[in-house]
Every structure is written in C-alpha cells, then in structure tokens.
Structure 1
Amino acid sequence: MVISNPAFSYQIRRSQRATQTRIIVTPGKVEVVAPIKVAEHKIHQFVQDKQQWIIQALAKIAAKSQLHNKLAPAVYGHGAEIPYQGASYKLAVRPTKLKRIKIEFCQEFVAHVPDALIIKDHSAEIKEALIRWMKKESKSQVERLVKQHAEKKQLFPQTIKIKTQKSRWGSCGIHNDININWLLIIAPPEVLEYVVVHELCHIKVRNHSVHFWALVAEHLPDYQNRRQWLKKHGSSLMMGL
C-alpha cells in the first residue's frame, strides 16, 4: 500500500518479525515496516510524528546522490566531466596508433584510444586507464607532500604506498609505513595534504590525543577546515570513479 501526503509518499509493509514500527528511507523511497497487529491509523500517526525527520533524511540522501553524480560520469566518453583535485575537467577522446590507452592532462583530460577500441564502446577501458593515471599521480603528489612536511619534526616514513581502500583514507603502520587512499586525488589538494600530514604525525604520536592534534596544527593551522570537508564529502568521494 502506497500512501501519499504533501511532503512525500510512503509504503506500508507488514512483517511478522517486526516488534515495533520503523521507517526505512532509501533514495526516493520511504517504507514503513510495522507489526501485523498494529492499527493502520497508528502507523499513519507514527509517520506524521516523524515527518520532519523523514524529509531531512530524503534531502540528505538526495544531496549525496547529486554529489556522486557530479563526481562520477555515467559514461567515460568524449565530453564527460572527470573529477580531479576538487574540480571537474572535460574528457577528450582521440584516436591513436598506440596499443594501449594513454591519459594526458593539461587543463583537460585527453584519452588517446587505440583505433581498434575507438569504433566500439570503450568507456570501461578509459575508466581503467584514468584510475591507473590517478594512482600514479597520487603517488607523485604524496611523495612531494611527505618531502615538504617530514623534515620539520623528523617524521620520516619507512615506505609510502598508494592503496584502494573502502573505508580508510590513510594509515600508519607500526614500522612507520604510510598508506594513502588514491581517491584523495579527487578531493581538493589541501584535503590530500591534510591526510598525509595526519598519517605522518602518527609516526610520533600513535593516538588522537590533544598532543597529536597540536602536532597536526603545527604543520597545518587550518587542519580543522580540511578535516571537516572530508567528513562532509567523504562518503561520496569513497564511491570513486
């Protein structure tokens, strides 16, 4: 059963397992799961009481979805918008005699696509090539940032690795090995710098104490703004290309 009101529509689903009425909000959909014996008018009243929360939840999900759409194009073809360093750049596709897709960047991304691929759907191959390019660029930029910040407090990592991680932006191992998520190359440069400095500071302070944050602030006095950006946009950034 789908019920409509001025703010949103919702569907009621009866469940023998349910012990209490609850609301599930997903993109464009509101579902109310209720026990078998709960009167329908009580369900409607429950939704009415939770109306403001539902509206806010729908808006939050829509905003995340919109941001993700901006980050990742549906198709990696000529004219697509590619996210990079907090901005969006056009993708140009050009044929080449090379046997493998080559990516170049200079105010726009250029994918040099082999003649054999240019005549068919090459979106997946371009995406893979862009990811390879961004991982390589991430390594270069992270190494530059480490060189910039490490000497100040003698925070020298043993190794630097660029990784694909589903739930972490970075880590510092017990042997001072620094791992950085390549997806940070999509974020503004100052956000990548924050994560690098964050992990470098863990070489000296292994926890998140006041002493740790003071050390971060010595390198980046405005680190809180950068950290807040990552908290706000991190879930969409983590979806990747």
Structure 2
Amino acid sequence: MKVGEFEVDVERKKIKNMHLSVYPPEGRVHLSVPEHMTDWDISTFLFSKLGWIRKQFKEIESQPRQTEREFVTGESHYLFGNRYLLQIIPDMHLGITLTTNFMEMHESKKQTRAERAAMLFTYYRNELNTELEKMMTRWLPIVCPDMEGIKWEIDMVLRRWGQCYQSQKRVVFSLLLARVPCRCIEYVVVHELTHFHVREHDENFTRLLDTHLPDWRARKQELDNFIALALPEK
C-alpha cells in the first residue's frame, strides 16, 4: 500500500491494535493490522501518520554511513566491534589473519575489489557462524525449551539484523552482525528467539526479554551505535 511517497508493507495478523514501524537501514515501512480491518481504515490511519513516518525516515537518512570500501591497505574494517586496519600482503597462501591492530589479507596475485570483498565476506561468514553456533546452543534451551527443529542461517542481503519466521521455525541473521560486538549479537539472538513466543514488540515481548536478558536495553543501544556499519555505502 502506498502513502505519500512511501510504500508500506501491510501485514494482517490476529492482533487487536495496529503497529507501525520504520526500519533501518533503508527506512522500510511496515504496518501490522488486525485481520478484519478494511483497506479504507488502513489508508486513513497511514495518512494520519504520514508526518511521523517522514520524521523517522529523515532520521534514518541522516545517520552516518561508511564511505565505499575499496579493500586497500590502510582502510578500516570491523570484526565483532573491533576496528582493524587492512593490510594487503602478497603470499602463496590465501586467507585473512588478525593481529592486534591489523587485518591481514593474504593474496597470491593482485585481486580485484570484488575478489577481496568476497574473501572478506567469506571470512565474516565463517567467524559469525562460529559465534552463532555457540549462542544458539546456549539460548535455544532457555528461550524455546519446548520447541524442536528450529533452524537458523546467515543472509548477506537481509535488511535487518535478524528475522524470525515463526511458522517455518527458522531464524535468519544478517552477515553484517560480524561487524558488531558479540554482546550485541547475543541480544539479536535472544530477541529473535523471543519472537517464537510473541510476534509483536508489546509488553509481553518486553517482559520476556527482561527475564532472559535484563540488560538488553543497553545492548540494543550499543547495537544502534553500530548502525552505520549496516547502512548502504554512499
């Protein structure tokens, strides 16, 4: 559904009230509505919120973004919240290694920007997969003790840090989580697993988060501070 200059994803659910959200990094507008609500009522509500939507979208647009990565020596890259300076090193053995301050990218021949990007994202995927394995092993029995068969995966193109597909018993995590601190990744894990019990971000959802992860608000704030690492490059 379109309101003003915005396309709105409208989702009908078994809920009593409407829930309107504007999500970073690209300002996606989503509206959850009760199943019985008419298109006219939905449209009327959205037009009444147009000013609010524009304000949220403007705030997202004003957030800093990384400059385009060239994958050259001296460039900054992040892993689990730590900043490293990239070093391109001629070597017979391909791969990435870390020192205290440097991310060393070993290549047997000079690679293109796309090839270096692919190498880094493969490295990110492997590192993030290891962390998520540990976190899911820890938190699944705590948050979802009576659920079996929950699967998870990592997606490069996901527009959110994470997404819970309740009916499919599946959670998808953004590859860009590899750039943020592990305590923030853990918050995303608990957040998405909680959605298997409560779809909306309502009082019940907050209460469950408070129970399982009492400091989740601080972790969320820290994660928000890293949003520039997930925003599209200028």
Question: Structure 1-normalised TM-score?
Answer: 0.62
Q: Distance in 2 between matches of 1:135 and 1:176?
A: 22
- Equivalent position SS for 1:239: coil
Unaligned runs of 5+ in 2: 1-57
Unaligned runs of 5+ in 1: 1-56
The partner residue of 1:110 within 104, 107, 110 is 104
Partner of 1:64: 64
C-alpha RMSD of the superposition: 2.7
Larger Rg: 1
Aligned partner letter, 1:109: M
| 157 and 164 in structure 1: CA distance in 2 versus 1, 3 angstrom threshold | farther
| 220 and 84 in structure 1: CA distance in 2 versus 1, 3 angstrom threshold | same
Are the equivalent residues in 2 in contact too, given 1:143–1:160 (CA < 8 A)? no
Partner of 2:156: 164
Aligned partner letter, 2:214: P
Are the equivalent residues in 2 in contact too, given 1:157–1:178 (CA < 8 A)? no
Amino-acid identity (%): 24
Are positions 1:77 and 2:72 aligned together? Answer: yes
Aligned partner letter, 2:139: H
Please report how far the alpha carbon of residue 92 of structure 1 lies from its aligned counterpart in structure 2 after TM superposition: 2.2
Are positions 1:222 and 2:215 aligned together? Answer: yes
- TM alignment of 1:1-241, pairs within 5 A: 61=62, 64-65=64-65, 68-69=66-67, 74-98=69-93, 101-107=94-100, 108-114=102-108, 117-118=109-110, 122-153=112-143, 154=145, 158-173=150-165, 174-234=167-227, 236-239=229-232
Are the equivalent residues in 2 in contact too, given 1:166–1:238 (CA < 8 A)? no
Question: Structure 2-normalised TM-score?
Answer: 0.64
| 232 and 110 in structure 1: CA distance in 2 versus 1, 3 angstrom threshold | closer
- Equivalent position SS for 2:124: helix
* Count of aligned positions: 172
Are the equivalent residues in 1 in contact too, given 2:151–2:169 (CA < 8 A)? yes
Please report how far the alpha carbon of residue 199 of structure 1 lies from its aligned counterpart in structure 2 after TM superposition: 0.7
| 208 and 79 in structure 1: CA distance in 2 versus 1, 3 angstrom threshold | same
Q: Distance in 2 between matches of 1:156 and 1:194?
A: 21
| 220 and 156 in structure 1: CA distance in 2 versus 1, 3 angstrom threshold | farther
> Which is further off, 206-215 or 193-202?
206-215
Aligned partner letter, 1:89: Y
Please report how far the alpha carbon of residue 78 of structure 1 lies from its aligned counterpart in structure 2 after TM superposition: 2.4
Q: Distance in 2 between matches of 1:182 and 1:85?
A: 12
Are the equivalent residues in 1 in contact too, given 2:73–2:87 (CA < 8 A)? yes
Are the equivalent residues in 1 in contact too, given 2:184–2:222 (CA < 8 A)? yes
The structure, 1 or 2, with the larger RCO (C-alpha pairs under 8 Å, 6+ apart) is: 2
